[in-house]
Structure 1
C-alpha cells in the first residue's frame, strides 16, 4: 500500500511545472480509469507491447500488468512514444508462475479476469458486463493465451469478424476492445474515475517525470521542513 502523498510537497513541486502542463495533467486525470486494466501475457514482440501500452494511455487505462513466462518484456521506443512513463506498470518476474501470480494480485483487487480469443463460440466483447472492474488479458501473436490463462480466466471473449482472416493483430485487438469498453463505461452510471487520492499520487509521480532534477527539489523541501521542526 502506497503512502499518501504529502500535499505540501506536491504543491511545492508544482511550482516548477508550467501552467499549461498542470492543466493538461488535470484534464488527463479526469479521464483516467482503473475500472478496466490490461494484462499482456508473455509478449515477445516489443512493437506489440509498445503499441498496446500506447493504446492504454490514449484511452485513459492507467494500469498494465505484464507477465513473463518464456520471454523477457521489452518496449520499442519508436512505437511507445513515451506512453509507458504515464502508466502504472505491474511487472511479474520471468518464471513459470508469472501469470498465476498476476491473476492472484488482480483478484485481490476485485478484478474480474477476461481473456481474449478468436473463438466465435465465446461471448462477444459487446456482451461484457462492466459492473465489476475488468482485467482484459491478451496473449501472444502465435499461441494466444496460455493453457493456464484459458482455464483460469472468468470469461473468454472475442471480437466479431466478417472476413477470411482468423484474428486481428494483438495491438489492433487491444485498441478495438478498449475503445468499446471505455466508451461504454463513460456512458454508464458506473463510478469509473480515479479517487482524489489516486489523482494526487499520479500527479506527484508525473511531476517527477516532468521537473528536471526533481529528486533534488524534493530533498531540499524535506530538509527545509525538517529544519522547521
Structure 2
C-alpha cells in the first residue's frame, strides 16, 4: 500500500483503545447505529459488541465509512455479551434511570469499561440491568428524561476519552501488534483480503514499508484459480 496510507493507518491504530467498548442491545434504527459507530471511531474504540435479532444496515452518509474501522462482534443474548466482556475484566455499565444510577461523569473510565446502550424506545432490558455492575445516567433538567441513544453514546464516550487522555492512555499503543497486522492487511489490501478469506488462508505480515511479507507457498495458493 502507499507509504502515506500505511503511516496514517499506523497512527490511528496507535490511538485505539481496546479496553473501552459499547454493547448495543437490540438497537434497530440504522441511523442511530451508524452514528454510534462513527463516534466510536472518533474516540478510538476498536470493537463494538451487539445483541440484536436483525442487524441494521449502516447508513453510509451517517457512518462516513467508520464501520470499516470499528469491528462489530455479535452475541446471541445480553447475558452472553456481558459474560464475554467480564472475561476481559471490564466494568460493565448500563444507561438506566434508577435509584442506584450515578452521574456518568463519576465513573473511572481509565479502567477497562463496557457501556450497555439499550433499545431506542424501551431502553435496556431487565436482563441487561441485572447483568451490569453499575447503572449510569446523563443528568437532565428539561421536560424529557433521556437523550437520543446516539447522542448519549457520544457524550459518554467523550468523557471516557477526556479521562483517558489526562491519564496518558493515548500516548502509548494499547492495541496488540497481532490486531494491528489484521487491520493493516484488511484495510490496505481489500481485494487480497477477500481472496484470502475465500481460500481460508492466513493473513500475511505487513512490514514497516506497507509491503506484504509472505513465503512462496502463500503466493502460489493465492494465484490458484480455485480455493485449495
Q: TM-score, normalised by structure 2?
A: 0.79
Relative distance call for 1:145 and 1:214 in structure 2 (3 A) is closer
Give yes or no for the alignment of 1:207 onto 2:188: yes
Q: Which residue of 2 aligns with 1:224?
A: 216
Q: Please, which of 84, 89, 109 is the counterpart of residue 105 of structure 1?
A: 84
* Alpha-carbon distance, 1:161 to partner: 2.3
Q: Please, which of 33, 37, 52 is the counterpart of residue 49 of structure 1?
A: 33
Q: Which residue of 2 aligns with 1:135?
A: 114
* Alpha-carbon distance, 1:197 to partner: 3.5
Q: Answer with 161-170 or 213-222: which moved more.
A: 213-222
* Alpha-carbon distance, 1:55 to partner: 0.9
Relative distance call for 1:23 and 1:226 in structure 2 (3 A) is closer
Deviations 1:175-215 (A, max 9, x none): 10000001111211557822334323332332233xx4455
Q: How many residues align?
A: 204
Q: Which runs of 5 or more residues in structure 1 are unaligned? A: 1-16
Separation in 2 of the partners of 1:20 and 1:124? 42
Separation in 1 of the partners of 2:75 and 2:4? 36
Q: Which runs of 5 or more residues in structure 2 are unaligned? A: 197-202, 205-211, 221-228
Q: Which residue of 1 aligns with 2:146?
A: 167
Q: Please, which of 25, 30, 38 is the counterpart of residue 14 of structure 2?
A: 30
* Alpha-carbon distance, 1:27 to partner: 1.5
Cα contact 1:120–1:160 (8 A) shared by 2: no
Q: Which residue of 2 aligns with 1:193?
A: 174
Task: Please give the secondary structure, in 1, of the residue aligned with 2:189.
Answer: helix
* Alpha-carbon distance, 1:29 to partner: 1.1
Q: Answer with 21-30 or 123-132: which moved more.
A: 123-132
Give yes or no for the alignment of 1:72 onto 2:54: yes
